[in-house]
Amino acid sequence: MNLPGAPFLAYRGESLYLEDCALDALAERFGTPLYVYSQAAMLAALAPYQRALAGRDHLICYAMKANSNLAVLQTFARAGCGFDIVSGGELARVLAVGVSADRVVFSGVGKTREEMRLALQAGVKCFNVESEAELEVLSAMAVQEGRTARISLRVNPDVDAGTHPYISTGLKANKFGVAHERAVALYRRAAGLPGLEVVGIDCHIGSQITDVAPYLDALDRVLDLVEAIEAEGIRLHHLDLGGGLGITYTDEAPPTADVLISALLQRLDARGHGHRMVMFEPGRSLVGNAGVLLTEVLYLKPGEEKNFCIVDAAMNDLMRPAMYEATMGIVPTRLHNASPVTYDVVGPVCESGDWLGRDRALAVQPGARLAILSAGAYGMTMASNYNTRGRAAEVLVIGDQAHLVREREQPAELFRNERLLP
C-alpha cells in the first residue's frame, strides 16, 4: 500500500509504522487522540528546496502557521531555516526556540500596534506590509520606538492559483496584499515615510497549489513591478515569492519543490534578476505528509442510509474536513482480514459537521485505532477546545525514539483563567 508520507510511513507486516515506531504502540503509550510527526520526513521535504537553492543568496522561511510546535520549529531552525510569522504569539514561539529575529519575516493583514512594537524591539528581518494604512501605522510605531522597520509590500498579482477559495490569496477579491495597480505609488509613499526602509517585494498566491504555471504567472507580474519600482530610484534587495506548494492527500500530483524552484530561478535569470536574494515561505509542503492523527474507534453505529464509525478524535482536533470539505486518508494502525464495511468516520462533538472522512471502507471493531494521514499541517494549529475538549498530545519520532513534545490538555487547564462571580 502506497501511503502519503512514504517511505517514512509504511506497513511492516500488519502494523503501521512512522519511521521505526509502531503507531499502535504509540497510541497505547500516549493515548488518543494523538498527533505524531516524523522528523526525518520533515527534513526530507526540506531537502529539495535546499538543493535547488544551493549557491543562491536565499532564505527559506518556514511558514509556522502550518505547525508551530516548538520541537518542529527547533527541527527547522537546526536545519538552517528562517521563519514566516503572522502574529505576536508566533514571534514569541520563534524566540523561545532561540532563533535570531533577523531570520524572521512578519506577514499578515492585521498586525496590531503591540505586535509591531514587539517585532521592532526584537529586530525582525522584514515586515511584509499588506495595506497603505498598515504602512502609516508601522512608520509611526517605528519612529515612536526609535527603530527602523525593514519592509516589503505584499503585492496581489490577481493570479488564480486554482485552489480552494478559502486558501486562495492572490485574487483581487481576496483580503491579502496591495493591488498590483497601486504598488508603484505605495512604494513611493513607503520610501518617503520616516522609520521605514524598503528592502524587498513579496507575493503569495495561495495554498495547496499543484501546478507550476500560477507561480510563473505571478513571478512575471512581480518582476514587471520590480522594474517599474526601481525605475523610480527605489532599490529592492530581495524577492519573497511566498509558499503554497501542495502535497498529496489522496491523488494530487504537485510538482516537487526542486522542480518548482528551478523553474522560478530559470525565469528570474532569463529576465535579468538572478542576482537578487530570493526568499520562500513553505509550510504545508514541509510538514503535511510528515504527520498523522491517531484516534480510537469508540462505537460502530449501523444505519439505514449510513454506517457510522464513531472515534475519539473530532472536528476540534482536526478542522480541515469540516472547514474545507478536505479528503484525508484514513487507515487502520493494524491490518485485519475481516471484510471491510463502508463508514462515515465521525467524532463525538455535537455538530453534524463533525466528520473526519466520508464513505471509507474499513475493517475495524471498537477499540481499534485509525491513522488520519497527511495531518502534519493545519491540524494541531487549528485545534480548539470546543465542547471543553482538551487538545491532543503531540509526539515527534526520530528513528525508533518517540518524544512527547506536547502534553495532553486536562480539563482544569481549560478554565484556569476564568473567574466565578463573587
As given in the structure block, the three cell numbers for residue 394 are 503531540
Confidence at residue 174, expressed as pLDDT on a 0 to 100 scale: 59
Q: Which CATH number fits domain 9-38+288-414: 2.40.37.10, 3.30.2310.20, 3.30.67.10, 1.10.760.10?
A: 2.40.37.10
Q: Per-residue pLDDT tens for 230-276?
A: 999 999 999 999 999 999 999 899 999 999 999 999 999 999 999 99
Confirm or deny that 187 is annotated as ligand binding: no
Cβ neighbours of 80 (radius 10 Å): 11
Q: Per-residue pLDDT tens for 56-79?
A: 999 999 999 999 999 999 999 999
* DSSP-based three-state secondary structure for 248: coil
Provide the H-helix boundaries in 177-334.
Answer: 183-192, 213-231, 257-270, 284-287, 320-324
Catalytic residue among 21, 61, 81, 350: 350
Residue 350 annotated as catalytic: yes
CA distance 404 to 412: 21
pTM for the whole structure: 0.95
Range(s) for CATH 2.40.37.10 in the chain? 9-38+288-414
The reply to whether CATH 1.10.10.60 applies to domain 100-282 is no
Confirm or deny that 408 is annotated as ligand binding: no
How far does CA 240 lie from the centroid of its chain? 17
* DSSP-based three-state secondary structure for 173: coil
Range(s) for CATH 3.20.20.10 in the chain? 100-282
Confirm or deny that 11 is annotated as ligand binding: no
Confirm or deny that 320 is annotated as ligand binding: yes
Identify the helix (H) or strand (E) that includes residue 94. helix 88-96
Confirm or deny that 407 is annotated as ligand binding: no
